[in-house]
Amino acid sequence: MRAVAFDLDGTLVDSVPDIAAAVNRMLAARSLPPLGEPAVAAMVGDGLQVLMDRVFAAVGAVQDPGAGAEYLRDYEDNVLVDTKLFPGAEAALQSLKQGGWRLAVCTNKPERAARLLLAGLGIEQYFDAVGGGDSFAARKPDPLHLRQTLAAAGLTPERSLMVGDHSNDVQAARGCGVQAIFAGWGYGQPGMEAGAAAVAADFASLPEIAARLVP
């Protein structure tokens, strides 16, 4: 069985507008200055606590213990205000499913927030498993996160691919013996694609690249 695991933020969905809005409401409640969306985009990808660490470092403030939970509650309540699928995402998912691929989501975003996004965007039915940043004992770049996400879908790393826009996705894939496809349309910084088996410029090219890598 061929399988593709997808990252979420910056890969399947353009979610930074809603992430940044929730971050800035949390900062405003502490009389701290807001951050622009490009700055927040560069902070996404390593999970909730690292996001909070980077946010407070960026505004030169000390993080209080309740900040992360406050942000997450607000974000989950406003997860689909401006978040959208990247162009061609659903068509690519349909094409892969029709081609017999099994699909999963492997994201460092908390699982509840990830599931709210997938359900709200109407694409949860494509995925056999969702592995969030708090679903297992490890998260990307630890390959255990990807391995356990695949196992939750009844899959193994053999004949599997990982699609993501961050070096964490590439590292998790390589550590798991899985080929990575770097999402060139996402939030990734230059050089993050190092080690990927291929770079996809857009979703339209993804099914063909996947079929080439895992015939």
Q: pLDDT of 135-168, one tens digit each?
A: 999 999 999 999 999 999 999 999 999 999 999 9
Per-block mean pLDDT, blocks of 10 residues, the chain (215 long): 97 98 98 98 94 98 96 97 98 97 97 97 97 96 98 95 98 97 95 97 98 97
Do the Cβ atoms of 213 and 161 come closer than 8 Å? yes
pLDDT at res. 29: 98
125: which DSSP letter? Answer: G
Domains with residue ranges and CATH for the chain: 3-14+83-213 (3.40.50.1000), 16-77 (1.10.150.240)
pLDDT at res. 126: 98
Amino acid letter, residue 112: R
pLDDT at res. 6: 98
pLDDT at res. 110: 95
Catalytic residues, by residue number, are 7
The number of C-alpha atoms within 13 Å of 123 and in the hemisphere containing its C-beta is 23
**DSSP readout, 176-203?**
TT-EEEEETTSSPPTTTTTT-SEEESSG
